[in-house]
Amino acid sequence: MCGIVGYIGKRSAQPIILGALKRLEYRGYDSCGFAVLSNGKIEVFKERGSIDELEKALSGVNVGGTVGVGHTRWATHGEPSRRNAHPHTDCKGDIAVVHNGIIENFQHLRETLAAEGHVFRSDTDTEVVAHLVERYYNGNLEEAVRRALHEVKGSYALAILHKADEKIVAARSRSPLVLGVGDSEFFVASDVPALLEHTNRVVHLEDGDLVIITREGFRIENGGNVVPRKMETVLWSIEDAERGGYEHFMLKEIHETPRVIENTLATHLRDGVLGGVDLDLDVPQSSEILMVACGTSFHAALVGKYVIEELASVPVRVELASEFNYATTPLSRETLVVGITQSGETADTLSALKRAKAAGCATLAITNVLGSSVTRLADRIIYTRAGPEICVAATKTFTAQLITLYLLALHFSSIELAERQKMLKELRRLPTAVQRVLDAEDEIKEVSGRITSYENVFFIGRGISFPVALEGALKLKEISYIHAEGYAAGELKHGPFALLTEETPVVAVVAPDRTYDIMLNNIKEVKARKPPVIAVADEHDEEIEKYVDFVIRTSHVEPIFSAITNSVALQLLAYYAAKERGCEIDKPRNLAKSVTVE
Ligand code: AGP
């Protein structure tokens, strides 16, 4: 996820663009840049790092010019660096492009354009747009952009300049883009916060919209026809707008999950088959896989164990990185060691991977941050595409890790083609299934009120639902400060039953898989000790409510994917419990987003 901005009007563009970009840094902040049209030339300035660092590099210079575009980046293709920072230009520097999204067919386009003599100077997908527009430009910028976009597959919010045109051409497909209408000045941005300092009159663009913005006004086209779009007045404060109108980043990020699943799949699935850029693993077919991680990422690894062993029949061990580093676990060179870390900076996980490399193991990292430390350590990297996660509690990055582990399992699996296609079809259905869980959040909010007055809660599950229960307990613990314990459902009677009373609610994660019947037995055993029992269960489950007090229904998916939908439900459960308890939520006490100490 990145942030783009465009300005055209009577004022100097540079300070407006830089100020607007600061309001979008929550969308990405590993590098940034801007381009302004000044004296018939496009001047481009960009740096690795934050807007503040770019401003320092400018050391007070204002390049003048009243038309410009800017970008703050969350790297998806090409490590964070000045050369990969946007804006990207054509060979002659006559065209500047800023982009949020993923150009899925950029490799093919890059090869074609390079064969035509276009010289590429970055590793990004975005740069192909600048060269495509160059190929088609013959004095009419919007026409060149129209033709360029006919060749692009993927998601984009674009703002494009040409040195000969006092205009901005912007376009939107599956990435947000909004117009701002000021007093004889116009803005375009990824999100409303970038505009509110200057105007609260906005036009939300729709997929397929192409907009031509001049000093005199703007024209919106879609499918070759001029289309009217409603002008709206935004009543949010700037801070509200940064959270997209959500009260907390956590809720906003949970609601981003469907898009995150789409983006992660789009990156790794090419025309329906696996083997995109990051899944091209030529690591030796391993005799076993060892996963090392911490916290939520450890729970993702546990889900990965169930999925990979189910689909690929490769034995998988999962170790807490902090324990692994002080154990004498034998390591064979045949072991593939997978480090899962959304930040890519967790000290324990980095140390574990270093130990694995020293033992001669092949190493793979699953991370959300290009350029993070783990990407310089592991032999292979698979990137999740969750975008920046501001809330300390991991939500959408956890789901993105699960999606990546499902893809990894399919990559290593030897299942029949028909079965594989069925799994891919179900993966593609997950954004919709998750959206249905999100649409039912009011019911989850209502159930969350049933646990907020307690100080101890158990989460139980079996099979793939066991790590889901562990993660649900961690979420509740870390943001609502209720003591919650995740337990294998079959283990509760081996001691923890002693703690069960009316004062210890139990959340039972129930998937319609081979553990279903034994889970019902466990629930009956638990219920006999009087605690309130909440089940998280499939929408088609007609038995469960006979045995529990409350049911959180999640949309039906193939049981092996229930970890995705049930986890989102438990994230919402934790969120609303914490909200009712008046907790801080985005920045829980004593925690940090990235634990860079052992
Ligand atoms: C998750 O909600 C916590 N914030 C924490 O457990 C986190 O998952 C853990 O510190 C690992 O972080 P990483 O994925 O960046 O390595």
Give the tens place of pLDDT for each residue, 373-390.
Answer: 898 899 998 989 898 888
Q: Which residues, in sequence order, are CB contacts of 583 under 8 Å at separation 6+?
A: 479, 480, 481
- Whole-number pLDDT of residue 67: 98
Q: Please tell me the distance between residue 393's alpha carbon and the centre of ligand 1 in angstroms.
A: 7
Low-confidence residues in the chain, pLDDT < 50: 276-278, 282-284
Residue nearest to atom 15 of ligand 1 (CA): 343
2 counts as catalytic: yes
Q: What is the CATH number of domain 3-241?
A: 3.60.20.10
Cα(526)–Cα(502) distance, rounded to whole angstroms? 11
Nearest-atom number in ligand 1 for the CA of 393 is 2
Nearest-atom number in ligand 1 for the CA of 395 is 2
Residue nearest to atom 9 of ligand 1 (CA): 295
361 counts as catalytic: no
Residue nearest to atom 6 of ligand 1 (CA): 295
Cis previous bond, 258, omega within 30: no
Q: How many residues does the chain have?
A: 598
CATH class held by domain 246-439: alpha beta
Candidate of 343, 351, 353 to mutate for ligand 1, largest count of ligand atoms within 8 Å of Cβ: 343
Residue nearest to atom 13 of ligand 1 (CA): 341
Q: What is the CB neighbour count within 10 angstroms for residue 137?
A: 20
Residue nearest to atom 8 of ligand 1 (CA): 296
Q: Would you state the structure tokens that stand for residue 193, as one six-digit string? A: 């916060």
Q: Which residues of 442-465 are buried (b: 16+ CB within 10 A; e: fewer)?
A: ebbbebbebbbebebbbbbbbbbb
Q: Please tell me the distance between residue 297's alpha carbon and the centre of ligand 1 in angstroms.
A: 6
Nearest-atom number in ligand 1 for the CA of 367 is 14
3-class SS shares of the chain: helix, strand, coil, % to 5 = 40, 25, 40
What ranges do the domains of the chain cover?
A: 3-241, 246-439, 440-592
- Whole-number pLDDT of residue 243: 84
Q: What is the CATH number of domain 440-592?
A: 3.40.50.10490
Q: Please tell me the distance between residue 56's alpha carbon and the centre of ligand 1 in angstroms.
A: 32
10 Å CB burial of residue 375 (0-12, 13-18, 19+) is middle
- CA triple 10-14-17, angle to 5 deg: 95
Per annotation, catalytic residue among 2, 32, 294, 391: 2
Q: Please tell me the distance between residue 562's alpha carbon and the centre of ligand 1 in angstroms.
A: 22
Candidate of 250, 253, 294, 397 to mutate for ligand 1, largest count of ligand atoms within 8 Å of Cβ: 294
Q: Please tell me the distance between residue 383's alpha carbon and the centre of ligand 1 in angstroms.
A: 16
Q: Please tell me the distance between residue 506's alpha carbon and the centre of ligand 1 in angstroms.
A: 24
Nearest-atom number in ligand 1 for the CA of 591 is 4
Q: Please tell me the distance between residue 402's alpha carbon and the centre of ligand 1 in angstroms.
A: 14
Q: Please tell me the distance between residue 397's alpha carbon and the centre of ligand 1 in angstroms.
A: 10
CATH topology agreement for domains 246-439 and 440-592: yes
Q: Please tell me the distance between residue 437's alpha carbon and the centre of ligand 1 in angstroms.
A: 24
Distances in Å between the alpha carbon of 52 and those of 98, 424, 467, 511? 19, 43, 41, 48
Nearest-atom number in ligand 1 for the CA of 592 is 4
Where does ligand 1 bind, in terms of residues with CB under 6 Å?
Answer: 294-297, 341-343, 346, 349, 392-394, 478, 594-595
10 Å CB burial of residue 11 (0-12, 13-18, 19+) is middle
- Whole-number pLDDT of residue 266: 85
Per annotation, catalytic residue among 354, 445, 527, 593: 593
Nearest-atom number in ligand 1 for the CA of 593 is 4
> Is residue 205 within 8 Å of residue 178, measured between CB atoms?
yes
Q: Please tell me the distance between residue 236's alpha carbon and the centre of ligand 1 in angstroms.
A: 31
Nearest-atom number in ligand 1 for the CA of 394 is 2
Nearest-atom number in ligand 1 for the CA of 293 is 16
Residue nearest to atom 12 of ligand 1 (CA): 341
Coil/strand/helix, residue 79: coil
Token pair 């034995």: residue:
315
Cα(367)–Cα(340) distance, rounded to whole angstroms? 6
Residue nearest to atom 5 of ligand 1 (CA): 295
